[in-house]
Amino acid sequence: MKSHTEYLTFHARSRREYSNITSKVESAVAASGVQEGMVLVSAMHITAGVYINDAEDGLIADIDEWLDSLAPYGKDYRHHRTGEDNGDAHLKNLLIGHEVIIPVTGGRLDFGPWQQVYYAEFDGRRDKRVIIKVMGE
Amino acid sequence: MKSHTEYLTFHARSRREYSNITSKVESAVAASGVQEGMVLVSAMHITAGVYINDAEDGLIADIDEWLDSLAPYGKDYRHHRTGEDNGDAHLKNLLIGHEVIIPVTGGRLDFGPWQQVYYAEFDGRRDKRVIIKVMGE
Amino acid sequence: MKSHTEYLTFHARSRREYSNITSKVESAVAASGVQEGMVLVSAMHITAGVYINDAEDGLIADIDEWLDSLAPYGKDYRHHRTGEDNGDAHLKNLLIGHEVIIPVTGGRLDFGPWQQVYYAEFDGRRDKRVIIKVMGE
């Protein structure tokens, strides 16, 4: 069994930001030499997410608005008694998920026609990391 | 390490539909010969989901109503400016998730008493696919 | 490829309860001898979840309140016609997810600074189980 690990780093300029990281995941799979297996892409923080969806700007704005309607920024969360102001970011992380597992077939991401991997930052202006781990043969 | 890949195809007659695919996942695990490992079941589309829950018709109707209350069909999503009318289906996919990973022990799905795998179609009347990938030994 | 499986058992005294199981997952990884791979932590029930977030009591209370606002206990779900009263617990499971996959690097959980694994009980006062499965080399 082969295993290959990479880390991506982010430092978003704004609080919330959505970055297409598909080509970085593809590069990690190519570097791993894995032909058959899976790749895990996982945020290493609890105020950011990783998801798979469409690379369409209108939809990304819809996703951002929807996440904020279900887990609003600026509410008086109990978590804020610690001095933080990012309670919403923790809930957005739980809503959209922090990790995806993608099948690798014939050395490539075995994706349908519109699947793209996104890093979703919910509490930016800090250093953040994502781990990419490929496993297989 | 063994690896085995199958694809399921769907063409739902209605917009939303929920299909129990547990026996198909079990067949793929049997065909793989894997005794110890994991199986990934993942929608290859961004307007469909895969989830694990109960095979109970009332609950399935509850799930459908709940998803539509949190990500309503017919809203004026920005995504619709592309000509699509399925913005809700993208959000439902993010809410319920597009993939599950199931442990395989002794050649079988290592499930609790009520766990069943479902394919959730949110934008039917089109050809759709699900990938099943078994990895292990 | 190595594989190692453990089962945790729970019997919550109240309906909803959140338990930090990070050290149990770490022990399973140590017992597996896996240096490079992944660990799956998955609820074996459809009325409980497993998630990764912060070990902060205020946040845990926020999460509980948030889950109950989006999937309220006490609503008249169709599922209750079967005699159950836990329709909300099924929806909470779908909202937060029933499983996580954690990367293992150098024999340890490859986590960021605040990531902790939680078992979330949504329908307690019954025997419940979680499976931990480590795969790798």
Comparing CB atoms, the residue among A37, A62, A112 nearest residue B77 is A62
Print pLDDT tens along chain A (137 aa): 999 999 999 999 999 999 999 999 999 999 999 999 999 999 999 999 999 999 999 999 999 999 999 999 999 999 999 999 999 999 999 999 999 999 999 999 999 999 999 999 999 999 999 999 999 99
Contacts across the B-C interface (CB distance below 8 Å) = 87
From chain B, the residues in CB contact with C44 under 8 A are 110-113, 115
Q: Output the CA torsion sign for C28, C30, C31, C34.
A: positive
Query: What was the pLDDT predicted at A123?
Result: 98
Contact A26, A89 (CB under 8 A): no
Q: Is B53 on the interface with C (CB under 8 A)?
A: yes
Per-residue pLDDT at B48: 98
The pLDDT of residue C43 is 98
Pairing of strands A2-10, A108-109: unpaired
Report chain C's mean pLDDT, rounded to a whole number.
98
Chains touching chain C through at least 3 C-beta pairs below 8 angstroms are A, B
pLDDT the model gives residue C117: 98
Q: What is the pLDDT of residues C82-92, one digit of tens each?
A: 999 999 999 99
Retrieve residue A41's tokens.
């892409």
For residue B61, list chain C residues with Cβ-Cβ distance below 8 A.
78
Beta carbons within 8 Å of C119's beta carbon, 6+ residues apart: C8, C10, C18, C19, C21, C43, C48, C49, C50, C130
**Residue B10's CB: how many other CB atoms inside 10 A?**
18
- Is A106 at the interface with chain B, CB within 8 A? no
Close Cβ partners of C93 (under 8 Å, ≥ 6 residues apart): B53, C43, C45, C46, C47, C48, C49, C122
Give me the residue from B94, B97, B131 closest to A103, CB to CB.
B131
The residue in chain B having the minimum alpha-carbon distance to the alpha carbon of residue A49 is B94
- CB atoms C99 and B97 under 8 Å: no
| pLDDT for res C65 | 98
pLDDT for the residue B25: 98
CA distance A86 to A122: 8
What phi-psi label fits residue B91: left (phi over 0), alpha (psi between -120 and 50 degrees) or beta?
alpha
Other C-beta atoms lying within 10 Å of the C-beta of residue C61: 14
pLDDT of residue C62: 98
Nearest to C94 among B36, B37, B96 (CB): B96
Do the Cβ atoms of B39 and B109 come closer than 8 Å? Answer: yes
Q: What is the pLDDT of residues B67-102, one digit of tens each?
A: 999 999 999 999 999 999 999 999 999 999 999 999
pLDDT of residue A108: 98
In whole angstroms, give the CA distance from residue B91 to residue B44: 15
Point out the residue among C36, C100, C114 whose CB comes nearest to the CB of A3.
Answer: C36
Q: Check if A87 contacts C (Cβ < 8 Å).
A: yes
C105 vs B: CB within 8 A: no
Of B97, B101, B135, which has the smallest distance from its Cβ to A136's Cβ?
B135
Give the DSSP per-residue string, chain B. -EEEEEEEEE--SSSSEEEE-HHHHHHHHHHHT-SSEEEEEEESSSSEEEEEE---HHHHHHHHHHHHHHS-TT---GGGGGT---HHHHHHHHHH-SEEEEEEETTEE---TT-EEEEEESS-SS-EEEEEEEEE-
Taking the Cβ of residue C94 and every Cβ of chain A, the question of whether any pair is shorter than 8 Å is answered with no
- Interatomic CA distance for residues C123 and C108, integer angstroms: 32
Paired tokens of B5: 């890949």
C-beta atoms of C91 and B63 within 8 A: yes
At B10 the pLDDT is: 98
CB contact under 8 A, A36 and B131: no
State the nearest Cα–Cα gap between A113 and chain C, in angstroms: 25
The confidence band for C96, taking pLDDT boundaries of 50, 70 and 90, is: very high
Chain C CA closest to residue A75: C62
Q: Which H or E run includes A16?
A: none
Kind and range of the H or E run holding A73: none
pLDDT score, position C79: 98
Looking at residue C25, the DSSP 8-state letter turns out to be: H
Taking the CB of residue A23, how many other CB atoms lie within 10 A of it?
A: 10
Min distance C71 CA to chain A CA atoms (Å): 12
Q: What is the pLDDT of residues B32-71, one digit of tens each?
A: 999 999 999 999 999 999 999 999 999 999 999 999 999 9
pTM for this prediction: 0.98
Which helix (H) or strand (E) segment is A5 a member of? strand A2-10
A65 Cβ contact list (under 8 Å, min separation 6)? none
